[in-house]
Chain A
Amino acid sequence: MAARTFDRETLLDLVVNAVPLFIMAFFVAAFVLFAPFGFDPLASLLQFGLIVAPFVALLVLTYFSARAITDAERGGPVFLPGQTTPTEARPVEHEAEAEEAGAAASSEPTESGDGDA
């Protein structure tokens, strides 16, 4: 995908869906190179269609969801997921700060708050 559309951070997040895409591409190549069952117009068309269709669908959905998320990040305040309304909630400005917030959260002592001791 065009590097300008998504920043490095987002592209990194998208790697997770690149892996299954790669696996499907790999099998398409493999089935082109090795065809132990031979070629048959209909069966081979279906064979490749069955991999190409999910490939394209995954590509399209990944693109549009990444678009929606990136636009939302640029367009308004970003809170931690699901944490918009608690009184103590504050928007995180960008990832670096979010990272700090996360680190701070995890270093706070929580033993005393063990609700299930």
Chain B
Amino acid sequence: MAITGQIALTVLMGLFLVGVAAWLARVENWRSYTPVGGGATGGETAYGSDEKPAGLIRWLTTVDHKDIGLLYGAFGITAFVVGGLMVMVMRLELFDPEMTLISNTYYNSLLTSHGITMLFLFGTPIIAAFANYFVPLLIGADDMAFPRINAIAFWLLPPGALLIWAGFLPIPGVIPAQTGWTMYTPLSAGVGSGNQANAGVDLMLLGLHLTGVSATMGAINFIATIFTERGENVSWANLDIFSWTILTQSGLILFAFPLLGSAIVMLLLDRNFGTAFFINGGSPILWQHLFWFFGHPEVYILVLPPMGLVSLILPRFSGRRLFGFKFVVYSTLAIGVLSFGVWAHHMFATGIDPRLRSSFMAVSLAIAIPSAVKTFNWITTMWNGRLRLTTPMLFCIGFVQNFIIGGVTGVFLASIPVDLVLHDTYYVVGHFHYIVMGAITFAGMAGLYYWFPVFAGRMYQRRLGKIHFWLWLVGSNITFLAMILLGYGGMPRRYATYLPQFATLHQVATLGALVMFVGGLVWVYNFVVSWLEGPRVEDADPWNLKQSGLRTNEWAWFERKRETALADGGDEEALADGGDPVDEE
């Protein structure tokens, strides 16, 4: 009952805040605010590229959405490499049941950092990279609504990353957090005989807070941009699907991340100033409620834009329009709303009131429908289409395959009796990796390959792209299927050692991870080499979209840009600046 009482208080508090917001909206005339320092008044947002300084200064001072998109991309990919290397060490440790390569506590540190790095330093930023670069182009805006806020949002990330990784840096007395990415209290509150009262945990929490502020600023910017900066003829009736998903995602960020920030502050207060939110007589379960009220929307924050990428790219290589475009739009919005009503499906095993539990199950089953609808739309789009199995298309198809397995395993977890058996086993790890790696990262790769000609001005090596895809498809399915089987066998998650009976499946999982690692090397090599000396793009429509009537705004922009660059005689950014045309075949 204590818990239901708390929930009731939370709901009351929520209603109160909504009331405050409504009241503020009435008394304040927001439109009368004039932005200080400019940048937000319509028409003046286009910071001309001719004003850009050269070299490093350009990147430190840029407010151009495309440059910021590239910065986000470079940051996200760096984090992806860091998080990937961390998990490789962990998988090697898991090759045999005993503690061999690293200590158990170091394993826990890597585990925590891997999760946080991938979700907050790779996932959210890589999506922001695509959104920054392409949403303004897709909706015909000059730039983001608030270019400087855009720059600030990005520049909060590197210090955030440093704080999150601080425990690994050689700072005396500071050790990495070992709380898991969910930071459950009381462990994360630093009580007990463990070492989690260490300042490393505080630094990580502060870093996380910074990335949350960054994401929130970005979200406000995207909402403002998509609502107010749309070009001529771009209406709600023909907004592209990627911008729809970014709009919905930004809405989710706006409601979810500030809550994470508040919870983090409460945890910091508990840790350092003796308050009693979660410990000292407070409720450790309260943390789980607050965390998952953020955490579940967060998983959709991560998956909606990749769904948008696939919905945008997959039809281009199927030779036809996206089947049921509006189904995809409405189901995106439905996911957005419902994702706030399912959080306690992560808490079925905590002993909360069974009546509440069943409600969370009901809404979790309901939210599976919009996801399934999209899957059918993608399949139907490809059905009888003229498929061109380019690298981006392969990654889109891989996305659909992995998303089906990830989604179906999720629906099973949403069922209380099944979850009580599988909770905290490798089954859960398999479920969400099918989605975060198999789907989200695959869609990110589809986007990176698809738009490589736009942002690099050159073409990647196609054969290497396909090798990358197949290594990842095979590797991810080996690893994550093995995890699901481990979970059925009862292997608990978050352990550095295990019983010998699990050895074979763990070795299979490590093998799959090594396959993915090789694929990752191929990808990095391909991108670096192609970026530096790949054949320059000779055609503003490298995917021949014009022919099938499927060319979207960003490619039209690309064509105009190339034409003006040529007319100008070219500048440092010109793509066809007289470089030798290289034959691509």
Contacts and interface: CB of A to CB of B under 8 A. Distances in A.
Given A50-B356, A50-B359, A50-B360, A83 B544 contact: no
A105 interface: yes
A115 B549 contact: no
A83 B169 CA distance: 48
Interface in A59-94: 61-62, 65-66, 68-69, 71-73, 75-89, 91
A72 B389 CA distance: 36
Contacts of A77: 233
Interface in B15-47: none
Interface stretch (B76-84, B265-273, B317-325): B317-325
Q: Give the residue among A16, A21, A68 with the most B Cβ atoms within 10 A.
A: A16
Q: Give the residue among B329, B341, B370, B544 with the most A Cβ atoms within 10 A.
A: B341
Contacts of A110: 319, 386, 388, 544, 547-548
Contacts of A89: 551, 556
B553 A43 contact: no
B305 to A, nearest CB: 15
Contact of B235 (A42, A46, A53, A75): A75
B319 A17 contact: no
- Interface residue SS majority, chain B: helix
Contacts of A72: 235-238
A71 B354 CA distance: 44
B354 A83 contact: no
A54 B341 contact: yes
Q: Give the residue among B327, B337, B355, B385 with the most A Cβ atoms within 10 A.
A: B355
B555 interface: yes
B58 interface: no
A3 interface: no
Interface residues of A, number: 66
Contact of B358 (A47, A58, A75, A87): A47
Interface stretch (B5-13, B193-201, B491-499, B500-508): B5-13
A79 B390 CA distance: 27
A74 B399 CA distance: 36
B325 A47 contact: no
Interface in B349-384: 353-356, 358-360, 362-363, 365-367, 369-370, 373
Given A69-B237, A104-B549, A110-B319, A115 B543 contact: yes
B282 interface: no
Contact residue range for chain B?
35 or more
Nearest to A71: B236
Interface string B485-527: 0000000000000000000000000000000000000000000
A80 B324 CA distance: 13
B238 A81 contact: yes
Nearest to A101: B549
B237 A85 contact: no
B401 interface: no
Given A46-B7, A50-B360, A62 B334 contact: yes
A2 interface: no
A46 B336 CA distance: 21
Contact of A82 (B367, B369, B386, B553): B553
A58 B370 CA distance: 12
B358 A81 contact: no
B330 A81 contact: no
Nearest to B14: A53
Contacts of A71: 236
Interface of B: 1, 4-5, 7-8, 11, 138, 140, 231-243, 312, 319-322, 324-327, 329-331, 333-334, 336-338, 340-341, 353-356, 358-360, 362-363, 365-367, 369-370, 373, 385-386, 388-391, 393, 462, 542-544, 546-553, 555-557
8 contacts: A20-B334, A23-B362, A46-B355, A65-B329, A83-B238, A85-B233, A102-B320, A108-B547
| Interchain residue pairs A-B with the least CB separation, the first 6 | A82-B240, A113-B544, A116-B390, A54-B341, A27-B362, A106-B320
